[in-house]
Amino acid sequence: MTTHTVLKVESLAFERNDAVLFQPVDFELKAGEALQILGVNGSGKTTLFQLLTAILPSSSGQISYREQPLSDCRYEYLSNVLFIGHQSGVKAALTVEENLRWMSPNNTSCEKISAALEVVGLSEYAQIHCANLSAGQKRRVALARLITSQAKLWLLDEPLTSLDKQGVELVERCMNQHLAQGGAILFSSHQDLAQVTTRNYKLEPLMEVA
Amino acid sequence: MANNLSGGFKAYLYRDILIAQRDRGDLSKPLMFFLLVAVMVPLAIAPEANKLSAIAPGLIWILALLATLLSIERLFSEDYADGSLEQLLISPNLLMMPILGKITAHWLVIGLPLTLLSPVIAIWFSLPISAMVPMMLSLALGTAVLSLIGAVGAALTLPRQGGVLLALLVMPLYMPVLIFGSATIQAAVDGLNWLAPLAMLAALLAVAIVLCPLAISAGLRIAKNG
């Protein structure tokens, strides 16, 4: 199979309150490829992810999924996207297992859930309420979705925040496996990954000279 | 695809009931408010049966309305804060079903218990037994409308927790429910036909089920956009 373009972004821009957030973004993401978004704090990385998940409407530019504009294939695109945001969506009142079940596809088997918890090292915590977990452990709950999800395209906003060394290695292993299966990953991080081959894209803040 | 649609409804319904059941303290606040005020009124006004039964239809409905309003503001704010609202917004399916699931859960943990508690208050206010069934029917239908309309306000006031703004937004829309709800009980007390105001409540519910989820989805998208 030849590698095809999964996601293509052309001169994407976003304006909020008449202020343009970053210089127009252009990149292409192919199957089996990982792209790391770099940028200083406040350069709009999280906003970029919200544009790519169609949570925010872009001001100008185009996003295409498999050569089709996003507006024409919204259902297909969103069914194939796994997005883990800065706020991970973990519910404090639910247990670890309930959270993962809730965030995984409908038909995920119990074995797969417990296998995923095993991989992220939370098996013993399965019945603990997430309110009692540390920040790193909550992040691991969210990252267990990397194992249960069947999505081809991963959009990960700061997946390594508050993870320990082993946690980072774990994410790297998951990423490599996903790439080997022909998946694509777009992620933001201030940290360089040792085990995963990535390309970089730097978000340039737009400096307006008054 | 049909499976996906109903799945979104059920998944959110179960999740929100589970969360409500874990936070029982928060859940019981509106119900305690409903009961406590009802207990205080006869003590503060006059314990005469005819006076109490004269104000009871209106009072029960005002209390039900305020109790719903107290609890609705948290409907989306927690999801907003922990990021699960983002996950809801990127679901490929329509937002209607998950939203209706959340509102149904809210009605099951607030509106339904209020309805079931109301006979206690009715006896406390010496309402005639013949008015019990109309009262409970009107509360069951009416609190569902209150949850639906309140959810529109909760979505529009995100990312803040509604508060006074939410009350101001939804109060005018709550008026028809208040009027037809108390009219149902009043008609039953007076021995008149109470089916007409009850039918109006049912009609309000039918309209709200169709229109409110549309307004809520738009409100949630605007909230993320702000």
Sequence ranges of the domains in chain B: 2-225
Give the Cα-Cα-Cα angle A104, B74, B9 (nearest 5 degrees).
40
Find residue A184's DSSP bridge partners. Answer: A153
Q: Mention every residue, 6+ apart, whose C-beta is less than 8 A from residue B191.
A: B130
A41 and A61 fall within a common domain: yes
pLDDT greater than 70 at residue A126: yes
- Residue A209 above 80 pLDDT? no
State what percent of residues in chain A have pLDDT above 70: 97
Q: In this structure, what are the phi and psi dihedrals at residue B69, rounded to the nearest 5 degrees?
A: -60, -40
A82 phi, psi to nearest 5 deg = -110, 120
Model pLDDT, residue A142: 93
Same domain for A160 and A63, yes or no, is yes
Distance of CA A84 to the CA centre of its chain: 5
Higher pLDDT: B139 or A205? It is B139
Distance from CA of A2 to the nearest CA of B (A): 28
Tens of pLDDT, residue by residue over A78-115, are: 989 999 988 888 999 999 999 998 888 877 888 999 99
Range of the domain at A118: 87-150
Beta-carbon contacts of residue B200 (< 8 Å; ≥ 6 apart) = B176, B180
To the nearest whole percent, how much of chain A has pLDDT over 90?
A: 48
What's the pTM? Answer: 0.90
Whether B74 and chain A come into contact, CB under 8 Å, resolves to: no
Nearest to A108 by CA among A142, A147, A156, A138: A147
Tally of domains within chain A: 2
CA of B74, closest CA in chain A: separation in Å?
14
Measured N-to-C along each axis, helices B74-82 and B96-106 cross at an angle, to the nearest 10 degrees, of: 120
Q: Are residues A67 and A91 in the same domain?
A: no
Contact by Cβ (8 Å): A198, A36: yes
The shortest CB-CB distance from B224 to any of A56, A92, A129 is to A56
Tell whether A106 and A121 lie within a shared domain: yes
Average pLDDT, rounded, for chain A: 88
Q: Do A50 and B224 touch (CB under 8 A)?
A: yes
Same domain assignment for residues A75 and A110: no
- Please tell me whether residues A133 and A160 are part of one structural domain: no
* The pLDDT of residue A27 is above 70: yes
Instruction: Write the burial class of residue B225 (CB in 10 Å: 0-12 exposed, 13-18 middle, 19+ buried).
Output: exposed
Is A35 inside any structural domain?
Answer: yes
Is the same domain home to A103 and A36?
A: no
Same structural domain, A52 and A33:
yes
Beta carbons of B15 and A94 less than 8 Å apart:
yes
Cis before residue B159, ω within 30 degrees of 0? Answer: yes
- Taking residue A71's Cβ as centre, other Cβ atoms within 10 Å add up to 11
Q: Which residue of A53, A55, A92 is in closest CB contact with B82?
A: A92
Distance CA A93, CA A129 (A): 6
Q: What is the pLDDT of residue B3?
A: 46
pLDDT at A1 over 60: no
Domain check: are A16 and A55 in the same one?
Answer: yes
Same domain assignment for residues A35 and A76: yes
If you measure CA to CA, which chain A residue comes closest to B21?
A93
Give the model's pLDDT for residue B1.
36
Q: A15 lies in a domain?
A: yes
HEC string of A113-148 equals: HHHHHHHCCCHHHCCCEHHHCCHHHHHHHHHCHHHH
Nearest to B83 among A57, A87, A102 (CB): A87
Maximal C-alpha separation, chain B: 59
Structure confidence by residue, pLDDT tens digits, A128-185: 999 999 999 999 999 999 999 989 999 999 999 889 999 999 999 999 999 999 999 9
In whole angstroms, give the CA distance from residue B44 to residue A13: 63
Do both A72 and A138 map to the same domain?
A: no
**Would the CB atoms of A93 and B84 count as touching at under 8 Å?**
no
Q: How many CB atoms lie within 10 A of CB B191?
A: 10
CA-to-CA distance for A196 and A33, rounded, in angstroms? Answer: 10
Check residue A210 and give its pLDDT: 44
Taking a contact as any Cβ pair under 8 Å apart, which residues of chain B between 163 and 222 contact chain A?
A: 221
Q: Name the DSSP letter for residue A205.
A: B
DSSP 8-class letter at B209: H
Q: Do B83 and A88 touch (CB under 8 A)?
A: yes
Alpha-carbon gap, residue B193 to A163, rounded angstroms: 66
Maximum separation of any 2 CA atoms in chain A, in Å: 60
**Sign of the CA dihedral running A8, A10, A15, A20:** positive
**Sign of the alpha-carbon dihedral angle for A191, A60, A54, B80:** positive
HSE-up of B128 (CA within 13 Å, CB side)?
A: 12
Residue A65's closest CA among A4, A151, A150, A3?
A: A4
User: Do the Cβ atoms of B197 and B183 come closer than 8 Å?
Assistant: yes
Residue A171 lies in a domain: no
Contacts of A75 (CB under 8 A, 6+ apart): B92, B93
Strands A184-188 and A153-157: parallel
Low-confidence ranges of chain B (pLDDT < 50): 1-3
| pLDDT at residue B2, rounded to an integer | 39
Res. A208: pLDDT tops 70:
no
Structure tokens at B119: 């006979």
Question: Which positions in chain A touch B83 (Cβ < 8 Å)?
Answer: 85-90
Q: Looking at residue B7, what is its pLDDT?
A: 64
**What pLDDT sits at residue B226?**
64
Distances (CA, A) of A90 to A99, A144, B186: 6, 11, 47
Residues of A within 8 A of B159 (CB-CB) are none
Q: Rounded to an integer, what distance in angstroms lies between the CA atom of residue B132 and that of residue B168?
A: 31
In a domain, A170, yes or no: no
Measured between CB atoms, which of A77, A89, A106 is closest to B86?
A89
Q: Which two tokens stand for residue A66?
A: 């498999």
**CATH classification of the domain holding A73:** 3.40.50.300
Would the CB atoms of A53 and B18 count as touching at under 8 Å? no
DSSP secondary structure letters along B61-122: HHHHHHHHHHHHTHHHHHHHHHTHHHHHHT-SS-SHHHHHHHHHHHIIIIIHHHHHHHHHHH
Q: Which of A81, A106, A107 to mutate to test the interface with B (most CBs of B within 10 A)?
A: A106
**Using the beta-carbon criterion (under 8 Å), do B87 and A57 form an inter-chain contact?**
no
